[in-house]
Structures are given as structure tokens and as C-alpha cells.
Chains A and B, each alone.
Chain A
Amino acid sequence: MTPALAFDLLLIAALLWSAARALTTADVFRAVVLFIVFGLLMALAWARLGAPDIALAEAAIGAGLTGALLLDAVGHLRAKQREPEQ
């Protein structure tokens, strides 16, 4: 087994694991972090597939901006839970 093939198999396993965990985990914050991890791994996968343009866009938009938006949403939800009267 060549190192490249081993890396690809590892990448596939990590992608499937992070996707499954992001969908099934009960804690919202943890799910968002796993989603960001999934986005970064997906960017790696695009780079391995020879599509650096898509890898750049995925890392910046898929992982970075979407992650920031989702984290902000989690913050809003927590703030609302803490002060339910307002």
C-alpha cells in the first residue's frame, strides 16, 4: 500500500466519521465544530482530487464563513436559553 493510498483511505474514513458524528451528536456546539472539521477535510479531499479552486472555496466558505455563522447562531441560542423572559 503506497503512502498516497493510505492517506486517501484515512481521509475517506475521517470524512465519513466526521459527517456521521456531526449529524448524530446531541450537543449543538460540538456538532458545529465537527461540521467545520468536515469542511476542512473536504477541502483536503478536493485538493487530492486535483481541484485546488474548489478546495480554496470550500475551505474559505464551507468551513470558515459557514462555521462562523453557525457558531454565532449557537451563541444566540445559548443566550436565549439563559434569559428566557426577555
Chain B
Amino acid sequence: MKAWRTALTALLCAGLALALGAAMLALPGFAVRLPGQVAANLDDSGVAHPVTAVLLNFRGYDTLLEVAVLLLALLGVFALSLHGSGHARPSAPAHPVLQTLARLLAPLMVLVAGYLLWIGAHAPGGAFQAGAVLAAAGVLLRLAGLLPAWAQPGRLLRGGLALGLLVFLAVAAAALAQGSLLQYPLAYAGPLILLVEAGLTLSIGLTLAGLYLASAGWRQ
């Protein structure tokens, strides 16, 4: 009976895969050549890397809402952990080698994050990758027992979490006064994108690390 059910599941999965493949092959050709359009307008975007140009300029809406969704996800984790027992059990003392390694690696990771943020204007990199590296540094420090879990995030921490979204919204609102939402003035597009990305890097790093650090306070 069980083997029969497994075989049926495998058959259905294979059928679904085949149907998806057939649907992919049957797709009509692109109505608009988006890569060509991006390349043609790259000079107006303020950055030299097409992916960053799309994320922060041409499709800035998507990124703005993505950051808001990320913040909402962390709020959900906070709501769960505040609902729980609250007191974080002190973590077991980590191995001294791990602690030394974490102390050595954390500053390097902050450096890498800054590099990724800066290089994002003209090569692969950008706010999400830089934020992920920052978050990894936070998780590493937590694993080494050098960083406490977030039992009750303070005002500074909450400010840092919201900073990226607030900067993005402020820039969008300022652009709205000039014309339309998120349409940067040509002359300031590059610096504005760097400003937004710097705020986003900090907030994304804190948010991603927070998903781990807030739930690490759940022990008990």
C-alpha cells in the first residue's frame, strides 16, 4: 500500500514536471526586449551595473516593497518571541578557537560588506548581498557567544531596523515633490542610489540577523 502510494506520488510529480516543461517550451517570444531597453537607458540610471540599475532605479518599487516585507517578517518573529516566555537562557560558552575566529572574521566581514555595497554601482554586489554578509557576521558572533540574543530590542536597534525603509521612503517622497515617485533627478541619481543602498545594507543586515538573533532568545 505504501509503495503503491509512493509510486503514485512520483508519477504525479513527474507529470507536473513534464507539464511545467511543456508550458515553458510553449511560451511565446518576448514582446519587449527588456535587456536591450536596460542597456539603452543605463546611462540615465546613475549606476553602471544593469542589475543595480533595475533594482534601485527602473524597478525601485519592487525593492521598496521587498524591504517592507522583510521588516514585516521580522515583526512577526518579534510578535512570536514577545508572546513566548521572554527570558533567554544564557548560551553555553563557545570553544575559544571559535571565539578567536569570530573576533578575527567579524571585522573582515564588515569590510567585505562595505566593499560589496560600493562595488554594486558597477559590478555584481549591492545592498542585499552586503546586508547578507553583515547578517552572517552577526550570526557568527552569536554562535561564538559574543553577541546576546535580542530578548527586548532597544530603541537604537529598532531605529536601525527601520532606517533603510525610512531612507528609501524619504528619497521616494523627495522625488515625488520633483515629479513622480522614485524618479531620481538625473544629476543626483548615483549618490541617491548609494545613499539608499547604504541605509538598506544596514537594515537588511540587522533584519536578517534578527531573524536568527530574535528566535535565539526563545530557549526554554
* Chain B residues with CB under 8 A of A72: 212, 215-216
A30 within 8 A of B: no
Q: A65-B135, A68-B139, A76-B219 are in contact. Are A56 and B212 (CB under 8 A)?
A: no
Q: Are B143 and A68 in contact (CB under 8 A)?
A: yes
Q: Taking CB as reference atom, which chain A residue is nearest B216?
A: A72
Complex Cα distance, B218 from A69, in Å, reads: 13
Q: Taking CB as reference atom, which chain B residue is nearest A68?
A: B139
Within 8 A of B (CB), among A3-35: none
Complex Cα distance, B218 from A43, in Å, reads: 31
Contact of B126 among A53, A61, A64, A69 (CB under 8 A): A53
Q: Taking CB as reference atom, which chain A residue is nearest B124?
A: A52
Complex Cα distance, B216 from A68, in Å, reads: 11
Within 8 A of B (CB), among A47-85: 52-53, 56-57, 60-61, 64-65, 68-69, 72, 76, 79
A53 to chain B, nearest CB (A): 5
How many residues on B have C-beta within 8 angstroms of the other chain's C-beta atoms? 20
How many residues on A have C-beta within 8 angstroms of the other chain's C-beta atoms? 13
Most chain A C-beta atoms within 10 Å of own C-beta, residue among B124, B135, B219: B124
Most chain A C-beta atoms within 10 Å of own C-beta, residue among B116, B129, B139: B129
A61 to chain B, nearest CB (A): 5
What is the 8 Å Cβ interface bit string for chain B, positions 111-155, against chain A (1 contact, 0 not)? Answer: 000001000000011101100110110010001000000000000
Q: Are B129 and A60 in contact (CB under 8 A)?
A: yes
Complex Cα distance, B123 from A52, in Å, reads: 9
Q: Are B219 and A64 in contact (CB under 8 A)?
A: no
Complex Cα distance, B149 from A76, in Å, reads: 15
Q: A53-B51, A56-B124, A72-B212 are in contact. Are A65 and B139 (CB under 8 A)?
A: yes
Binding site for A on B (CB under 8 A): 51, 116, 124-126, 128-129, 132-133, 135-136, 139, 143, 208, 211-212, 215-216, 218-219
Binding site for B on A (CB under 8 A): 52-53, 56-57, 60-61, 64-65, 68-69, 72, 76, 79
